[in-house]
Amino acid sequence: MSEESGATEVAVLGGGPGGYAAAFRAADLGKRVALIDEGENPGGVCLYRGCIPSKALLHVAKVIAESHEAAAWGVEFSPPKIDLNRMRAWKEGIVTKLTAGVGQLSKARGVRFVRGRGKFLDAGTLRVERSAGGEEDIPFERAIIAAGSRPFIPPGLSLESARLMDSTSALALKDAPESLLVVGGGYIGLELGSVYAALGARVTVVEMTAGLLPGADRDLVNILAKRLEKTLHAVLLNTKVAGMKEVKGGIQARLEGEGAVPAEAVFEKVLVAVGRAPNSGGLGLENTKVEIDEKGFIKTDAQRRTAEDNIFAIGDVAGEPMLAHKATHEGRVAAEAIAGAKAAFEPAAIPAVVFTDPEIAWCGLTETAAKAEKIPVQVARFPWAASGRAQTLGQSDGVTKLVIDPETERVLGVGICGSGAGELIAEGVLAVEMAAVAADVGLSIHPHPTLSETLMESADVFFGTSTHIYRPKRG
Ligand code: NAD
């Protein structure tokens, strides 16, 4: 099929991991597809200014941290010499390689990539303002909106200053400031705060709630918080930034709340990471029947169909959690539904990973949610201090836990804090999706010595049969 031939059967608006996965699936199912995005290639926020560049920089941070830790293992390195230009070039090289690769995959599938900004004229036409200039109207049979999200900067925290960064400008890595204020102790604040701390900045995190990563289980977060005490200058909980102004050499922030001592301080740069907002504005949705909720998310059904029958919406623009892997799966569901399959988006577990050092990952039911929703659970916890592999990695403070239904012994959720938690959680996702019982996890032979054994031994803890934990019987 030639790229240009024939009318568009599926128009996908937005080329991130949700949009391009949807476009590719639709093309693989025989549809004529147009994928519209402003980027040079598909990739979206995740590849260009999110997941991928941040992970490249977090890898650098981890190597720097390990070079310090190695002193305790008998290897001493001299302090790292940081060449920001080379680091930036390396990060950008990864982004270019990946986005070019996605561009080639798009071409190979016969997807027509239209570079520009799209807007609905009605429920059957998209007008694209081409990046190269000019406009093009694309009539379509079905559309998938995958327009993503953008950093949310509340009015109280907006300031016309080159010193104020959001996640995009922070990832651009213009320089390594001497001091950095991070507003928001969530995913982005902690990941990027850790990167800048590794590059030598004195990082202060201000979080308005009583703990970092609200919503995540405290036993996991506490391990991270303890490590951050060593790498960050300060973490101020129950604290807000009440005002900011540019002064000579930095931004003066006025703090309010428990951690507001002193109440005013000057930081060379400020990173605002207090959440993201869906990109549902400016799409011409008012020219369709597509509905949005009070937070700006597009309303959809289980197939990701909007109130306008032939228009679907997926990813960040269609609701929480705003995670790339959730968008990808939704995109594939929408494409399959369009092709007439009985597809629905109904996962039992969407994994969440915070790529700090140590990493935190969880899936399915958390202990926090079980408590809030009064769901009876039994939690089986395996401390990494009892794992040989964790000891060899200098990671003995980690923990793996299973959240189990005491009656059926089904694994309802998994939580991990420690090195590689983001990789390990995949087994938890499979267990929850497959409705595994604790015995399934405990009886599956895990390779020794690996961190994956901590999942198996957590199941053993549930039955009181863990080899590496001795709990003498009472009485
Ligand atoms: P977030 O929701 O994770 O964290 C925002 C934090 O800011 C919260 O802890 C909140 O209590 C705090 N906060 C809000 N207003 C504040 C204020 N005025 N002062 C101080 N603290 C304030 O949001 P984020 O870190 O901006 O990330 C946005 C989204 O991007 C995440 O929800 C996530 O879905 C996604 N993301 C995911 C990853 C990942 O998967 N590893 C990484 C980065 C971003």
Q: 3-151+278-338 — its CATH code?
A: 3.50.50.60
Question: Ligand 1 center to residue 274 CA distance, Å?
Answer: 5
User: Does residue 407 have a pLDDT over 60?
Assistant: yes
pLDDT at 400 over 60: yes
Could you say which of 3.40.1400.10, 3.40.50.150, 2.60.40.10, 3.50.50.60 is the CATH number of the domain covering 155-274? Answer: 3.50.50.60
The Cα 321–Cα 315 span in angstroms is 9
Whats the size of the chain, residue-wise?
Answer: 475
Q: Letter for the amino acid at 295?
A: K
Strand runs labelled E in 32-90:
33-37
Q: What is the pLDDT of residue 5?
A: 56
Of 268, 265, 246, nearest to 254 by C-alpha is: 265
Task: Decide if pLDDT at 112 tops 90.
Answer: yes
Q: How far apart are CA 293 and CA 134, in angstroms?
A: 33
Same-fold call for 3-151+278-338 versus 352-463: no
| Per-residue pLDDT tens over the stretch 230-262 | 999 999 999 999 999 999 999 999 999 998 888
In the reported structure, the alpha carbon of residue 183 is separated from the centroid of ligand 1 by a whole-number distance in angstroms of 9
Is 355's C-beta closer than 6 angstroms to any atom of ligand 1?
Answer: yes
Return the ligand 1 atom nearest residue 273 CA. 26
pLDDT at 2 (0 to 100)? 40
Ligand 1 pocket test, pick from 166, 167, 191, 274 with the greatest ligand atom count within 8 Å of Cβ, gives 274
207 lines ligand 1 (CB under 6 A): yes
Helix H or strand E encompassing 255:
strand 250-257
pLDDT at residue 117 tops 70: yes
In percent, the amount of the chain with pLDDT more than 90 equals 96
Judge contact between 407 and 377, C-beta under 8 A. no
Q: Are 58 and 195 in contact (CB under 8 A)?
A: yes
Q: Does ligand 1 lie within 6 Å of residue 322's CB atom?
A: yes
The answer on pLDDT for 421 being more than 50 is: yes
| pLDDT (0 to 100) of residue 475 | 59
Pairing of strands 250-257, 264-267: antiparallel
Nearest CA to ligand 1 atom 15: 274
Per-residue model confidence as pLDDT tens digits over 292-305: 999 999 999 999 99
Report whether the peptide linkage leading into residue 154 is cis, meaning its omega lies within 30 degrees of zero. no
pLDDT of residue 263: 87
The residues assigned a catalytic role are 448
**Measuring from atom 12 of ligand 1, which residue has the nearest CA?**
184
Nearest ligand 1 atom to the CA of 156 is 18
Q: What's the topology of domain 352-463?
A: Enolase-like; domain 1 (3.30.390)
Number of other CB atoms surrounding residue 150 within 10 Å: 16
- CB 273 within 8 Å of CB 186: yes
CA–CA–CA angle 401, 406, 408 (5° rounding):
110
| Strand 411-418 versus strand 359-364 pairing type | antiparallel
- Say what the pLDDT of residue 196 is: 98
353 lines ligand 1 (CB under 6 A): yes
Ligand 1 pocket residue status of 240, Cβ below 6 Å:
yes
What's the 193 CA to ligand 1 centre distance in angstroms? 12
Average pLDDT over residues 459-471: 94
Atom nearest to 321 CA in ligand 1: 34
At residue 1, does pLDDT exceed 80?
no
pLDDT band for position 12 (50/70/90)? very high
Would you list the domain boundaries of the chain? 3-151+278-338, 155-274, 352-463
pLDDT value for 156: 87
Across 17-27, average pLDDT: 98
Task: Specify the pLDDT at position 260.
Answer: 84
Q: Residue 309: what pLDDT? A: 97
The pLDDT tens digits for 28-78 are: 999 999 999 999 999 999 999 999 999 999 999 999 999 999 999 999 999
Half-sphere exposure of 419 (CA within 13 A, CB side): 19
- pLDDT, one tens digit per residue, over 151-209 is 999 988 989 999 999 999 999 999 999 999 999 999 999 999 999 999 999 999 999 99
Q: Which residues of 341-374 are buried (b: 16+ CB within 10 A; e: fewer)?
A: eebebebebbbbbbbbbbbbbbbbbbbbbbeeee
| pLDDT value at residue 357 | 97
CA angle 162, 187, 431 (to 5 degrees): 155
Average pLDDT, the chain: 96
pTM of the shown model: 0.96
Q: Are 428 and 444 in contact (CB under 8 A)?
A: no
Cβ of 324 closer than 6 Å to ligand 1, yes or no, is no
